[in-house]
Amino acid sequence: MTVMYLLGAAILLPVLSGLFLLFFQDRIRNRKLKCFLIFLVYAATSGIVLYLMTVGDYEFTLWQLTDTLEVRARMDNMTRLFAGMTVAAWTLGGIFAFEYMKHEEHEDRYFGFYLIVMGVLVALDHAGNLISLYLFFEMMTLTSLPLVLHTLSHEAVMAGLKYLFYSIAGAFAALFGIFYLYAHGAGRFFAEGGYLTLLDSYSGSHRMTLIALMLIIVGFGTKAGMFPMHGWLPTAHPVAPAPASAVLSGIITKSGVLAIIRVVFYTVGADVLRGTWVQYTWMTLALITVFMGSMMAYKEQVLKKRLAYSTVSQVSYILFGLSVLNETGMVGALSHFVFHSVVKNCLFLVAGVIIYKTGKKTVRELTGIGKEMPFTMWCFTLVSVTLVGIPPTSGFISKWYLAMGAFESEASIFAPWFGPAVLLVSAMLTAGYLLPISIQAFFPGEGFDYKKLVKKEPNLLMTIPLFLFTAAAVLFGMFPGTFLGFLQNIAAGIVG
């Protein structure tokens, strides 16, 4: 019972705090006090979640809708991984926003919805069956929409509508698949290896089950930016405030990954998909997205939009690792979830620092900026090297496991080397669209006017999140042992 109350507090505390900010924002006029109180909500929510991660596995009903529909909560290692990453990134992004939002209007509205989304994501990470997952998934879409709409410019409104339409279309496709699975006895509970495999009888046809699974993968894959439902992401992320772009890219896109994992590995079971057209289609769509996103990022000149296209590509690394349906691929996918979240949060925050301090938004404008903002651009450089996958950074670890998982895969539609080859080409393109920015920033050339240099480094509220994300990106790659052991335990339990 205590665990239930604590989980309820972790969900409701940020939600109610956010609602208070939205409706009673004038009650607290002192900005420093307001930011301090918001920070206390971040800290309290994170503390409760981290404590719940230590109390062992549990599962219980939060809300009984009907005899067969119930909202359930679940704690397992997958919950620990996603919830831990969510509260860490959300807190650091929120701290960064205390400074960044000074130059944006309606910051109370921003922080109000930011807090609400934090609570909804905690609930989503703890979802214990398909109904709970779908309920909180849709709530996340609706509550995160104002982060995209924040500036209320024409561009932001159009991007928000695109985000909403794509998200609803994807969720409705997934809902059809959920209807089918639920109607035939699967989905009321999650179980490692797939609840469907534990049923004494399953009345659904194999053909319709595969169709339902494909709809679910494409539907939830919309939030992850998987082709052909990727169009919202490079439109929505650049128009949001930079700290919102960071968590949209680093965390919210991964909600689609979590949903797919819960369906494939906890509801149905990997054995149902192995060797089927669903697995081959899933792998194909993921690899198309990996290559396409990298190419679009390489061509893009607006920095935040380049990073958004990069997210399209990099999240599908994770989806590809899941689609090979073996333990090695799963370890690669889960490690890339963490490493990409860390890196992309940092990259978008760096873009935010540049915008906040200089107003520069395009790649061409960044020549010589490393002389004015050396710390900021060193953070950018180190996490860029990580995203490329150069050792000893963390990106190398995840991409190594993804490649090994592809070689071990029994999927026969591709030669074993095809997937790793696409990942390698994408890595080279990643180097092509990130590393030249650092080179031009630190080595501007002979024509650069050094007399006009003015140091423009950010204050501590911006510096601390950048440093912590950068340190994590490098140190996870240098000392991966314990973390990889944790991921291997997860993979061994859910991949049959």
pLDDT at 465: 96
The pLDDT of residue 238 is: 86
Spatial separation of the C-alpha atoms in residues 422 and 96, rounded to whole Å: 35
Poorest-pLDDT segment among 130-139, 215-224, 324-333, 446-455: 446-455
Distance CA 90, CA 14 (A): 11
Tokens encoding 252: 């919210």
Residues 421-447 have a mean pLDDT of 91
**In the predicted structure, residue 457 carries a pLDDT above the cut 90:** no
**The pLDDT of residue 278:** 93
pLDDT (0 to 100) of residue 16: 96
Give 333-345 pLDDT, tens digit per residue. 999 999 999 999 9
Phi, psi for residue 446 in degrees, rounded to 5:
-70, -30
- CA–CA separation, 220 and 228 (whole Å): 12
3-state secondary structure of 58: strand
pLDDT exceeds 80 at position 452 = no
| pLDDT confidence bin for 204, thresholds 50/70/90 | low
- Residue 200's pLDDT band, with cuts at 50, 70 and 90, is low
Report pLDDT digits (tens) over 148-189.
999 889 999 999 999 999 999 999 999 999 999 888 877 788
Q: How many residues does the chain have?
A: 496
Task: Of 13-17, 25-29, 368-372, give the lowest mean pLDDT range.
Answer: 25-29
Q: 252: closest CA among 49, 446, 114, 430?
A: 114
Q: Which residues lie below 8 Å from residue 83, measured CB to CB, with a gap of 6+? A: 49, 52, 53, 122, 125, 126
Mean pLDDT of 13-21: 95
Cα–Cα distance measured from residue 106 to residue 24, given in angstroms and rounded to the nearest whole number: 13
| Gap between the Cα atoms of 225 and 312, Å rounded | 5
Lowest mean pLDDT among 43-47, 250-254, 399-403, 441-445: 441-445
Residue listed under structure tokens 């509801």? 267
Q: What is the pLDDT of residue 414?
A: 72
Mean pLDDT of the chain: 91
